[in-house]
Chains A and B, each alone.
Chain A
Amino acid sequence: MIEVQALSKFYGTRKAVDELSFNVEKGEVLGFLGPNGAGKSTTMKILTCFMPATSGTAKVAGYDVFEQPLEVKKRVGYLPETPPVYKDMVVLDYLIYAANLHGLKKAAAKNAALEAIEKCGLGGVKGRLIGNLSKGYRQRVGLAQAIVHRPEVLILDEPTVGLDPKQIIEIRGLIKSLAGDHTVILSTHILPEVQATCSRVLIINQGRIVAIDSLDAISARLRKGNVLSLVVERGTSDLVGKIQSLPGVASVSNPERADGGHRIIVTADESSDIRSAVAKIAFSSDAGLLELKRESMSLEDVFVKLTTVEHSI
């Protein structure tokens, strides 16, 4: 549905997007992840034909964004970083206007607007001035604007910014429900959002792709070995020695006081699963096992790992 080939964008001499290439299949939800200024918004603006790229090509639904912008624009719904709403317009009128701009006529435009209002939970405020709405509602109006013409592709730049937790869950639910019929690209720096909504993640840093894959695959790739976290009540020094002698164990940390006991972190080779062996030792030495779990790399860790460059001093 979306094909991006070696896309670059310069602002003056500053490279905002550097040779970006990726594909998005129909019905997929792609999470666009990166620190501030990584080039997320710029890429989205290029895909929506708001600004041209310096070099490279991008195709949306088979149409080139530079050669046939009108065809692309017809098929794309776009929610920019700041929702493009007119403060002096009423919600319903605004959505009808947005529908009109996308070629829907009188009754069709009104129906589309009402449908978008329904989907985004704006029923209670449809007769109010947008300027009098809270930030969260404006964001929803912006989202309604993006879906009002039932586009094939949705490009959402930080769609849940400024919403309260309940609204965030609703909007995520909405985005999930849109997947399948629509192809969605959404950018965010809220990591759990990606976990909650996206089937694939693209991590971008300083204009370059650092990783593009499913979340599990990315974190599996980064996970070096198995990490077990163990909390016991007593007898730690004895335990540490025994665990250390297990085959496949790389290192055992010194016990720390935590969670009403002592926490020991065990790192083993990737291939060896030592969970049951560790549990057995803990039982046999009567250490009072309180907790045993495998530490998986959280998205935060993945993100930080991929986007941080360590400078030597």
Chain B
Amino acid sequence: MRNIWIVARKDLRGYFTSPIAYLVMAIFSAIMGYMFFSLLNLYVLQSMQFEQLRYGKGPSFNDSLIRPIFGNMNVVLLFIVPFITMRLFAEEKKNNTIELLFTAPIKMSQIVLGKYLSALLFVLVLLLLTIPYPIALSVAANPDWGVIAMCYLGTILMIGTYIAVGVLCSSITENQIVAGALTFGTILFFWIIKWASYNASPFWSDLLSYLSIVDHFEDFSRGIFNTRDIVFFASSIGLWLFLTYKTLESYSWRS
């Protein structure tokens, strides 16, 4: 456990001693702020129209504001995660610092988990930057904290899967650009994997929609805690990290 933390802490510090962390945080905050502002405006506009027409209950707070915000945030993170994970192993390989890690008395699994944890903790810092939005909402309205909590949990699990993909892609190559592009492509593929299911046989349709990352976020965004989704995310994170472990092991066999 200590060894994992040693590796993770070093990389986490690495983000903050380079411009990467601040750049990513600035871009993420700016885009999230703009999105929040626009969606809130839209919601206010819709509510006012309902008010004038006295037509039904008006738009639901969760459906028209909370869910779109988190949905959009996940898309933004889809773009950001490759930039966070691409350096993890690729840079170590390029600079030969991997020899320091691999000849230190720590296990390969601890190295993989440490790297994973560093990127995950950095994304948690990004998510912390969005906490002011629900707090701002709670000043004027009465948001459902349960739904918000579930949305955060779902986001963390989903981003956790992205990061695991990123860690694997970074372990394959020593070129950061290749690692980033591979990560982005793979995640995007699992985002849209469901598209092929609309016209497929029941078996394939079920399989493809099970593999679709976004589908497993649906329940969280409704405030539902579904163990099926938890199992999906946990097992896919485990699988990607296991593949990373195997890749790195074979690296030392081949090199």
Chain A interfacial positions (CB closer than 8 Å to B): 48-52, 70-71, 73-74, 76, 78, 80-82, 84-89, 93, 97-98, 100-103, 145
Query: Which residues of chain A are near B10, meaning CB under 8 Å?
Result: 97
Which segment of B26-34, B104-112, B226-234 sits at the interface?
Answer: B104-112
The answer to whether A88 and B103 touch (CB under 8 A), given A51-B253, A52-B253, A101-B6, is no
A82 with B103, Cβ < 8 A, contacts A51-B255, A88-B14, A88-B17 known: no
Per DSSP, chain B at the interface is helix
By the criterion CB–CB under 8 Å, are B14 and A101 in contact? no
Contact A73 B103 (CB under 8 A): yes
B102, closest chain A residue (CB):
A50
Interface residue stretch chosen among B91-99, B138-146, B148-156, B187-195: B91-99
Nearest CB on B from A2, distance (A): 15
Q: Which residue of B lies closest to A52 (CB)?
A: B253
- Chain B contact residue count (CB 8 A cutoff): 24
Is B6 in contact with A49, judged by CB distance below 8 angstroms?
A: no
Q: Which of A50, A80, A81, A88 contacts B18 (CB 8 A)?
A: A88
* CB <8 Å contact, B105 and A103: yes
B181 interface residue (CB < 8 Å to A): no
Residue from B3, B14, B96 having most chain A Cβ neighbours under 10 A: B96
The secondary-structure label for the interface of chain A is loop
Docked Cα-Cα span, A93 to B107, in Å, equals: 22
A50 cross-chain contacts in B, Cβ below 8 A: 99, 102-103, 252
Decide if B125 is an interface residue (CB 8 Å cutoff).
no
Assess A52 versus B100: contact at CB under 8 Å? Given A86-B14, A88-B17. Answer: no
Within 8 A of A (CB), among B1-22: 3, 6-7, 10, 13-14, 17-18
Closest 6 CB pairs of A and B: A84-B100, A101-B104, A73-B105, A74-B105, A82-B96, A84-B97
- What is the distance, in angstroms, from A161's C-beta to the closest C-beta of chain B? 14
B residues less than 8 Å from A103 (CB atoms): 105
With both chains docked as a complex, state the minimum distance between the C-beta of B109 and any C-beta of chain A, in angstroms. Answer: 12
Tell which of A70, A89, A101 touches B101, judged by Cβ atoms closer than 8 Å: A101
Across the interface, do A100 and B6 meet the contact criterion of CB distance under 8 Å?
Answer: yes
Interchain CB contact under 8 A, B100 and A145? yes
Residue among B95, B96, B98, B104 with the highest chain A CB neighbour number at 10 A: B104
B97 pairs with A86, CB closer than 8 A: yes
A51 vs chain B, min Cβ distance (A): 5
Chain B residues near A86 (CB-CB < 8 A): 14, 95, 97
Interchain CB contact under 8 A, B14 and A76 = no
Q: Determine the distance from Cα of A87 to Cα of B97 in the docked complex, in whole angstroms.
A: 10
Determine the chain B residues whose CB is within 8 A of the CB of A74 once the complex forms.
105
Say whether B100 contacts A101, CB under 8 Å.
yes
A131 to chain B, nearest CB (A): 10
Give Cα A73–Cα B104 distance, bound, in whole angstroms.
Answer: 6
Is the CB–CB distance between A52 and B99 below 8 Å? no
Q: Given the known A-B contacts A51-B252, A84-B95, A88-B18, are A98 and B100 also in contact in the complex, defined by CB atoms under 8 Å? A: yes
In the bound assembly, the distance between CA atoms of A50 and B253 in angstroms comes to: 9
Contact of B99 among A78, A89, A97, A100 (CB under 8 A): A78
Residues of A within 8 A of B98 (CB): 84
Query: How far does the alpha carbon of A102 sit from the alpha carbon of B100 in the complex, in Å?
Result: 10
**CA gap between A50 and B100 in the complex, in Å:** 9
- CB nearest neighbor in A for B107: A70
Q: Does B103 lie within 8 Å of A76, measured CB to CB?
A: yes
Q: Tell me the smallest distance from the CB of B62 to a CB of chain A, in Å.
A: 43
Residues on A with beta carbons closer than 8 Å to the beta carbon of B97 = 84-86
Chain A contacts of B105 at CB under 8 A? 70-71, 73-74, 101-103
**Nearest CB in chain B to that of A72: its residue:** B105
Q: How far is the CA of A70 from the CA of B204 in the complex (A)?
A: 45
Name the B residues within 8 Å of A87 (CB-CB): 95
Tell me the complex Cα distance, A86–B88, Å. 12
A73 and B105 alpha carbons, distance in the complex (Å) = 5
Of the listed residues A73, A76, A101, the one surrounded by the most CB atoms of chain B closer than 10 A to its CB is A101
- Name the interface residues of B26-47: CB closer than 8 Å to any CB of A: none
CB distance from B12 to the nearest CB of A (A): 12
A232 to B107, CA, bound (A): 69
Q: Please give, as numbers and ranges, the residues of chain A lying within 8 Å of B13 by CB-CB distance.
A: 93
B15, chain A: closest CB distance, angstroms: 10
A selection of 10 A-B contacts at a CB cut-off of 8 Å is A52-B252, A70-B105, A71-B105, A74-B105, A86-B14, A86-B95, A89-B14, A93-B13, A97-B10, A102-B105
